[in-house]
Structure 1
């Protein structure tokens, strides 16, 4: 009974800390450091479709720590990431979007570190701006990357 409660408490803690990964598709990866035991260190490229803007995909490249800790999911990945967002089809909005909101998040350590992508709207230029950064419970990183997707003037961005 105690083990069951401990498992439930652990699961609640992990879910509360955002353990679940963002909805992404891995496009590919390259090895950067060979490891004798466990997976190699690598750079991974993932694709994220914006859940509220059809026709926009963001590609995020980030470091993925290998070795024994990386293989067990216990390693903390580096904070550096790069983003490129593109119109991959006709851009559309099912509903008005916020001026600024987080659209993707993925954990980069077991509990405390996350990679985040925030969408901002530049209404003057009718452009969607995406920024990626990493944060921690105590201290984040100032390292970031920005990408912009211009929306045709014939499709004004509906902002809440």
Structure 2
């Protein structure tokens, strides 16, 4: 709900503002500083990355987090005034405002090497199938849900994308436009 000039109007029930979908707003530091109903806080985002993937919060000390739309979180290395009406700032990193938060492929490929949890290492054939967008039956003794799929390249474990693991199946979340037959 917005007024005539597109600024957020106050929600009558909560006293919080509504989200303005075409504008970037910096995430509040904590839930106590939240002014927009349903918006994640920086602390919640850092806790998610640490709890789910073991990525230390200090990894993001030089980054700010922004929301544009309903739950599309962006990460930006730099400073900008908030709010800001531009097309993009940094890169998308996380989808919130749904039952299970989902990291983006770009985020995983950039920051996934910092992860120590929920990383599934794929052998060459499984990695090939994953990049092609194929779902596959795999054994995994970790948590169900979104995982970082990784493959050893030149002696290092490199993140290749986001997978969803449920009922013994790894589902490739590689976007259709980025899937490749290798």
Q: TM-score range by the shorter chain?
A: 0.3 to 0.5
TM-score by length of 2: 0.31
Q: Report the structure, 1 or 2, having the larger strand content.
A: 1
Higher RCO structure, 1 or 2 (CA under 8 Å, sep 6+): 1
TM-score by length of 1: 0.34
Q: Report the structure, 1 or 2, having the larger helix content.
A: 2
